[in-house]
Amino acid sequence: MKKLASNQLFQQIFKFGIVGGIATIIDWVVYYLLCNVFSIDPLISNILSFSISVIYNYIASVKWVFHVNTTKSKKKMFLEFMFFSILGLILTEILLVIGIKLLLFNEMFVKIIATAIVMVFNFITRKIFLE
């Protein structure tokens, strides 16, 4: 039984990694374009790129990654997902301010580090609240 549970968790983490990887690519490409092609402030670019990627992430997570709790309404699940996504966005924004504005690191470098930290946060909160 433990082996089956650990295998299911491994499969779920693998699927989450694929969905998260695609969402990350969407996020980074949009962020890069907004910052470097359109010269939009990194903090505003992050909000826009994050918002686009989180919509994809929600749809893919519900359809493919998590065994969705069917006792909750879809509206409630979406609101919980968005609430924790917004917390992830706030965490990302804080890390960007510290890394870009205070420490003067490259915006893509800081974005990559922030993404890694928020990805762990996202998996844990989605596992708890979507299932």
Other Cβ atoms less than 10 A from the Cβ of 90: the count is 11
**Contact yes or no for 28/111 (Cβ under 8 A):** yes
Instruction: Return per-residue pLDDT of the chain as tens, 131 residues.
Output: 556 556 887 888 888 889 989 998 999 899 999 999 999 999 899 889 988 998 998 889 888 887 766 677 778 888 888 898 889 889 988 999 999 999 999 988 998 899 889 888 888 887 787 76
- Choose among 90, 76, 96: nearest CA to 122: 90
- Asked if 66 and 127 touch (Cβ cutoff 8 Å), the reply is yes
What's residue 77's pLDDT?
A: 81
With CA atoms as reference, report the closest residue to 46 among 18, 21, 16, 26: 26
Per-residue pLDDT at 38: 97
Identify residue 101 by its one-letter amino acid code: K
pTM: 0.69
Domain ranges of the chain: 2-130
